[in-house]
Amino acid sequence: MNHSHKNHEHCAHAHSKNPQSEVAPPLLAKVEYTCPMHPEIRQIGAGTCPKCGMALEPVQVTTEQSNPELTDFRQRFWWTLPLTLLAVFIAMSGGLLDGWLGAKRAWVEMALATPAVLWAGLPFFVRGWQSLRKRSLNMWTLIAIGVGVAYTYSVVATLAPQLFPASFRTMGGQVAVYFEAAAVIVSLTLLGQILELKARSETGAAIRSLLGLAPKTARVIRADNSEADIPLSHVHIGDHLRVRPGEKVPVDGVVIEGSSAVDESMLTGEPMPVRKSINDALIGASLNTHGALIMRAEKVGSDTVLAQIVQMVSNAQRSRAPMQKLADKVAGYFVAVVLAIAVLTFVLWGVWGPEPSWVFGLINAVAVLIIACPCALGLATPMSVMVATGRAAQQGVLFKDASALEQLRTVDTLIIDKTGTLTEGKPIFHSVISIGAWTESEILHAAASLDQGSEHPLAHAIVQEARRRDLKLSTPTEFESTSGIGVRGQVDEQKLLLGNTALMDEAGIDTQMAHHLADTLREQGASVMYLAAEQQLIGLLTVSDPIKASTPDAIAALKTQGINLIMATGDGINTAQFVAQQLGIEEVYGEVRPADKEALVQRLQAQGKIVAMAGDGINDAPALARADVGIAMGTGTDVAMNTAKLTLVKGDLRGIVSARQISQATVRNMHQNLTFAFLYNALGVPIAAGVLYPFTGMLLSPIIAALAMSLSSVSVVGNALRLRSQRT
DSSP letters spanning 291-302:
S-EEEEEEE-GG
- Taking a C-beta distance cutoff of 8 angstroms, is the pair 663, 136 a contact? no
Q: Which residues pair with 297 in a beta bridge?
A: 253
DSSP structure class, residue 169: B
Instruction: With CA atoms as reference, report the closest residue to 275 among 47, 104, 500.
Output: 500
Q: Which amino acid is at 392?
A: A
Helices (H) and strands (E) in the chain, counts: 27, 25
Element (H, E) at 497: strand 494-499
Helix (H, G, I), strand (E, B) or coil at 202: coil
Task: Enumerate residues 6+ apart whose C-beta is below 8 A from 333.
Answer: 137
- Cβ-Cβ contacts under 8 Å for 121 (sequence gap 6 or more): 147, 182, 186, 189, 190
What is the three-class DSSP state of 536? strand
Out of 417, 545, 571, 616, the active site residue is 417
Q: Is 510 a catalytic residue?
A: no
Strands 564-568 and 587-589: parallel
Using left for φ > 0, alpha for ψ between -120 and 50, and beta otherwise, residue 591 falls in left
Helix (H, G, I), strand (E, B) or coil at 166: helix
| Rounded distance between C-alpha atoms, residue 583 and residue 566, angstroms | 11
With beta carbons less than 8 A apart as the criterion, state whether 69 and 47 touch: no
- 3-state class (DSSP) for residue 129: helix
The H or E element spanning position 183 is helix 179-201
The count of other CB atoms within 10 Å of the CB of residue 340 is 10
Please, are residues 34 and 56 in contact by the beta-carbon 8 Å criterion?
yes
Which residues participate in catalysis according to the annotation?
Answer: 417
